[in-house]
Structure 1
Amino acid sequence: MQYSETVQSIEQLVKDKVVPGVNYAFIDEDGIQRYLIGDRQLLPVKQPLDDGHLIYDMASLTKVVGTTMVILKLVELGKLSLDDSITKYLPKLKFNEVTIRNLICHTSGIEGYIPNRDKLNHDELIDALLGLHVGPGLNKEMHYADVNFIFLGLIAKQVTGESIHQLITEYVLKALKMNNSSFHPNPDNCVPTVYDEHNGLLQGTVHDPKAQVLGDDCGSAGLFSNMDDLIKFVQSILNPSENPVLSEETLAGFCEDQTGYDLGRTYGFERLDYEGMHYIWQSGFTGTFIVIIPEKKRAMIFLSNRVHPVSPNKEYIERRAPLIETYLKANKKDES
């Protein structure tokens, strides 16, 4: 299938200098189409994106590629249930009504402000997070928040005795043979994120400040990966019978709303509808996203370092939704 308008939109992003460069791919019944355009970095010296195997900071794609898969694996192993209260594993929270399902669907209603958050150490940050409260949004609205997946990582550790990063490596990366993915990559193989004259390039070190502090205990960010490995992950979702991590029954649940209240979330991913065509998607702050259309067995993977050289780059956010809509429109048009 051809995605000429989507390709043009991505090329325009680079031409307009919204992102330094993009490594992207389309997966469908015709196979895999891969593209590379633009630069690896702009500062302190410009370097072209000349290697499709370069590693990117996945940011919040860690949530779906890693933590979601681990939690569902633990459910299959009978070590926990999605409907367990989170207080069963994290008694300091005192939120009996909040379940693991709420966390994985971002419907927990957990909210609050942590003063000087980025100045806290590992234990101080965890204690502060455990001190947050539940607001009126519980089971009434989807409020996307990293804290939900940080708690999922802590719950997984409580159940198994291993950190969430260890579990992701064991249950997901090794099983899917994602050999280029890790939480401690060789910096020379990584596309850099931010740059400033005082600190230089942030390259091979996670961009997310909470992940920097929490290290192996961060379930919301920290993974580094590349296009080769993300293709393996996406194909494992599109082809449940070939998935070595989860059962076909569990994977079928990715196509369904899992909130119990039709709030537009499935396992980890947001679940939306485009003119009657369901799709799931997840993005990462650094400039990454995955869009999957389960019923068509099609997907788009987009990797950029949009925070380079300076974060946050709001223009990228403004142009991301129209770009994704262009891709969805191409898939919908193919039905006629």
Structure 2
Amino acid sequence: MYPETLRLIEEKMREGVFPGAVLRFIENGEDEEQILGNAQIEPTVVSMEEDFLFDVASLTKVVCTTTVMLKLKEEGKLSWDQTLHELLPSFQNETITLRHLLTHTSDIQTYIPNRDQLNAEELRAAYLTLQPGTDLGKVVKYTDAGTILLGFLIEELYQKDVIEVFKEEVLQPLGMSDSSFLPQPPYNKIIPTQRMADGNILKGVTHDPKARVLAEHAGNAGLFTNMKDLSKFAKMYLNLGRVSDMIYLHDKTVQELLHDQTPTGKGKRSIGWDLKFSPLDQAPLLFHTGYTGTFLLLDIVKKSAFIFLSNRVHTEDHRASYVAHRDEILACYLNERSKIYQK
């Protein structure tokens, strides 16, 4: 379906950018999947398999947190321009809105002294004291703090741990039966991530350090999922919120995501999602990444998707170089796609 993009991905894998990957192209109602390389290279080599579970890191933000927020808005429980304080009075700032948090325009000052020494309760308390800087609403600055705070809000509204809400409101209705949070041993089907300072390699344990501490209260990361389940999520979007005969999200909700939702209207961010634009016709595309080496690109209008899952942090994290490689893969895909649609 996309031979040039696939060749580039295979080349990157041979160069050691990531040990292995599972990727899927969805186009015109057809799927093409590729399973490449190794799921694990230490302590033993394990070949990649289709159903292996990845720690998808920040894809949790769009798959779970954003989805629950969209459903709450549809139910009339909140509006984007409400302040977080109004809905979560324990949050001490009274100016940051849900829109600010969902579009990364809160300019929230995220420095927390001794953060890595805090337990879950102490970390939660610290997040509730954070304040915005002088660029509130003006500048897009990506941060985990927004979805961490939205996770606390979801817990307040549902009176449940946020991962229980994610299971009940997202994973179960979408049939994402392989996906989980805080997985329990044995971890046979889970792909390991990074080697830590003590020499241990994380496997079945959340890679993101904040989500690792917050555990069942983390709204920013922690989802373990595979290509089969992520494809179900993607296809719900491509079907404008429908899953078989069920209306999971209203089509209007999905369509509104294709517009810039930042306060200035110029930040190239939607609710929860980054906005990319097709080089062919500048059509808006929904995009999000995960720190561990994952991304999801959706074209709602043309009903196509590119889902990419790798374990690029296994065993070492070379983020800056990886981002350059990832952007090259994306550019190749978008250019190849333009040629297909021009034919």
Superposed, 1:275-294 pairs within 5 Å as: 275=279, 276-294=282-300
Instruction: Indicate yes or no: 2:116 matched with 1:118.
Output: yes
CA contact (8 A) 2:93 2:129 kept: no
The 3-state SS of whatever aligns with 1:91 is coil
Matched residues in 2 for 1:46 and 1:286: separation?
Answer: 19
For normalisation by structure 2, the TM-score amounts to 0.93
Q: CA deviation at 1:249?
A: 1.4
Superposed, 1:119-138 pairs within 5 Å as: 119-138=117-136
CA contact (8 A) 1:277 1:332 kept: no
Instruction: Indicate yes or no: 2:216 matched with 1:216.
Output: yes
Change (3 A) 1:37 1:125: same
Q: CA deviation at 1:178?
A: 0.2
Which residue is equivalent to 1:256? 259
Amino-acid identity (%): 37
The 3-state SS of whatever aligns with 1:80 is coil
Matched residues in 2 for 1:131 and 1:222: separation?
Answer: 23
For this pair of structures, how many residues does the alignment match?
Answer: 334
Q: CA deviation at 1:129?
A: 1.4
Deviates more, 1:306-315 or 1:121-130: 306-315
Matched residues in 2 for 1:288 and 1:240: separation?
Answer: 23
Q: CA deviation at 1:266?
A: 0.9
CA contact (8 A) 1:89 1:155 kept: yes
Change (3 A) 1:241 1:39: closer
Instruction: Indicate yes or no: 2:305 matched with 1:307.
Output: no
Q: Write the deviation string for residues 102-144 of structure 1: whole angstroms up to 9, x where unpaired.
A: 1111111111311221110011111211222211221111111
Q: CA deviation at 1:201?
A: 2.5
Which residue is equivalent to 1:274? 278
CA contact (8 A) 2:59 2:294 kept: yes
Instruction: Indicate yes or no: 2:84 matched with 1:78.
Output: no
The 3-state SS of whatever aligns with 1:240 is coil
Deviates more, 1:187-196 or 1:150-159: 187-196
Correspondence for 1:247 among 244, 247, 250? 250
Q: Note the residue ranges of structure 2 that are not aligned, 5 or more in a row.
A: none
Deviates more, 1:269-278 or 1:283-292: 269-278
Structure number having the greater helix percentage: 1
Instruction: Indicate yes or no: 2:33 matched with 1:39.
Output: no
Which residue is equivalent to 1:176? 174
Q: Write the deviation string for residues 188-244 of structure 1: whole angstroms up to 9, x where unpaired.
A: 110100135944331111111101110111100011000000000000001015244
Q: Write the deviation string for residues 241-294 of structure 1: whole angstroms up to 9, x where unpaired.
A: 524431111111121111242211112110122331321110001111101122
Instruction: Indicate yes or no: 2:24 matched with 1:28.
Output: no
Q: Which amino acid aligns with 1:324?
A: L
Which residue is equivalent to 1:298? 304
Matched residues in 2 for 1:196 and 1:165: separation?
Answer: 25
Change (3 A) 1:241 1:72: closer
Which residue is equivalent to 1:334? 340
Which residue is equivalent to 1:193? 193
Superposed, 1:16-165 pairs within 5 Å as: 16-49=15-48, 51-165=49-163
Change (3 A) 1:184 1:93: closer
Matched residues in 2 for 1:15 and 1:30: separation?
Answer: 31
Change (3 A) 1:42 1:196: farther
For normalisation by structure 1, the TM-score amounts to 0.95
The 3-state SS of whatever aligns with 1:292 is strand
Deviates more, 1:237-246 or 1:140-149: 237-246
Deviates more, 1:124-133 or 1:84-93: 84-93
Q: CA deviation at 1:30?
A: 4.7
Q: Write the deviation string for residues 134-159 of structure 1: whole angstroms up to 9, x where unpaired.
A: 11221111111000000111111111
Matched residues in 2 for 1:133 and 1:269: separation?
Answer: 23
